[in-house]
Amino acid sequence: MEPGNVTQISEFLLLGLSEEPELQPVLFGFFLSMYLITVLGNLLIMLAVSSDSHLHMPMYFFLSNLSLVDICFTSTTIPKMLVNIQSKSKAITYEGCITQMYFYIHFAVLDDFILTAMAYDRYVAICHPLHYTVIMNPHLCGLLVLVSWIISILNSLLESIMVLDLSFCSDLKIPHFFCELKEVVQLACSDTFPNDIVMYFSAGLLGGGPLAGILYPYSKIVFSICAIPSAQGKYKAFSTCASHLSVVSLFYGTSLGVYLGSSDTHSSQSSATALVMYTVVTLMLNPFIYSLRNKDMKRALKDSLAGRLLKGHCMCLKNCP
């Protein structure tokens, strides 16, 4: 794209989901409710895993990390949207937009890698149960999470720095409720070819790679489950990975809906709805999927909440005159 009417920009405009004034209070209440549910649900999972020694296992270690990432992921976009609705402003500063874009990319990629690590954990548990504790040792689990953080940080840093080199024209309207990388790059007046190359290469490598890393272990899991003679044994083996498989389906289903269909309908209502599903609804549903489908998690949550309520009651009786 040839530069034209290039300006020293100070802010972008986030058009949001709707410009109708009467819908703004509804949107505010809707997204505030989902944000609070997401944060509370994931905090409860982290509390249950940390407080129950029976859950000090690789699967729940990865789950608590996923909950932390989900809280950070949704906190990257929703609070700014709520502030804009409340203040009746659509503006986000240039620095704020780049920062939001950086953390959005970082936590999206990190979500991918942690889901992949969880798939590998389920593969070892079902296909190599006798060697599970040896293979999935604390050192390997910590290393998988550390490498995931490093790769996601480096990738988001690279893509954000490349955006800083772009020149922008006077039309700075982003047709979404946050600074999505592709939308920001499309607003540039300077050459975006290097950005497009890195963006699509990263999407293929860091999106397709983890997806392949999930599908391959699950293909092995399916063969192992089919080899189990009893129906009860098959059900028990499948139930150990059903929650993770549900979360993976939601995460990749919505993300593919956003980015495979975005070339033709990036400013349409369907694209905005898909983004809401990907960045908000999926993250809100994750705690429910893991808690409702997991007996150990439900027991740990009940014990943790009951213990804290009992402790608070005892403290109250102790301090009463």
Distances (CA, A) of 86 to 219, 222, 272: 48, 49, 20
Rounded to whole angstroms, the Cα distance separating 79 from 100 reads 11
Q: Classify 11-265+274-291 by CATH class.
A: mainly alpha
What is the mean pLDDT, run by run of 10 residues, along the chain of 321 residues? 54 86 91 95 90 87 94 95 92 94 96 95 93 95 97 96 90 88 90 92 90 93 88 81 85 74 51 78 86 71 63 52 52
* Token pair recorded at residue 173: 């309207």
Of the candidates 305, 256, 263, which has an alpha carbon nearest to the alpha carbon of residue 282? 256
The confidence score (pLDDT) of residue 240 equals: 79
Q: How far does the chain reach from its first CA to its final CA, in angstroms?
A: 75
Q: Name the DSSP class of 277.
A: I
* Token pair recorded at residue 182: 């592709």
